[in-house]
Amino acid sequence: MHSNDSGIHLYRYSNKGFIGKLDTRPGILYRNGDNVTIETERFNEELGKLMEKIGSQAVEPRNEGLGKGQTKLSPFVTLYALAQCTRDLSALSCAQCLSIAVGNFPNFCNNRKGCRVLYSSCYTRYELYPIFFPLGSTQRFSNTQMMMVYP
C-alpha cells in the first residue's frame, strides 16, 4: 500500500490467481478520531440508508463498480459516502464485499465523523466533508486512526 497527497493506492501481487475472486483479508480500516455531534441514532440510520443506496449503484454494470452519494443531516451538515469494487468482480461478489465492509461500521466506526474500510476487492468511505474530488495539498485531516486487520 502507498499513500500520498493524491490518495491511497493499493498494489496487489500473488503467485495465485486473484482476478474475479472476492478477497476481504487482510483489511485496512481508518476512522476519524472525532465523534459526530448530531443525534447518533439518526446519523447511523441515514448512514445505513446512504450506504445501501450507493452499494446498489456500485453493483450496476453501467457504474463499473462505483457508487457515491450524499445526504443532508441538517441545514449545515452533509454526509458524503463512496463505495467502490474492483471491476473484475461480479455484481454478487461486489455486493458481498461491500456488505462485509459496511458491516465493520457499527463496531469500528461507531458514531465517528468519518471512516474508511479498504479490502483488496472493495472500498467504502464516509465523511462529513466532500470526498468526490481531489482535495488541495494544503488541506490536512490529522485526527485519523489506522488499523490493519489480519486473519
pLDDT digits (tens, 9 = 90+) for 96-120: 999 999 999 998 999 999 999 999 9
Lowest-confidence region among 3-7, 19-23, 97-101, 106-110: 3-7
Could you give the domains of the chain? 38-132 (3.30.430.20)
Q: Residue 88 CA to chain centroid, in angstroms? A: 18
pLDDT digits (tens, 9 = 90+) for 28-42: 899 999 999 989 999
pLDDT band at 2, cuts 50/70/90?
very low
Is cis: bond before 134, omega within 30 of 0?
A: no
Quote the percentage of the chain above a pLDDT of 90. 62
User: DSSP characters for the chain?
Assistant: -EEETTEEE-----SS--TT-----SEEEEEESSBPSS-HHHHHHHHHHHHHHHHHHHHSGGGTTEEEEEEEEETTEEEEEEEEE-TTS-HHHHHHHHHHHHTTHHHHSTTBS-EEEE-SSEEEEEESS--SSPPPTT-----EEEEEE--
What is the rounded distance in angstroms from the CA atom of residue 21 to the CA atom of residue 19? 6
At 139 the pLDDT is 42
At 18 the pLDDT is 72
Q: Which residue has the higher pLDDT, 58 or 15?
A: 58
pLDDT digits (tens, 9 = 90+) for 64-80: 999 999 999 999 999 99
Q: Are 115 and 31 in contact (CB under 8 A)?
A: yes
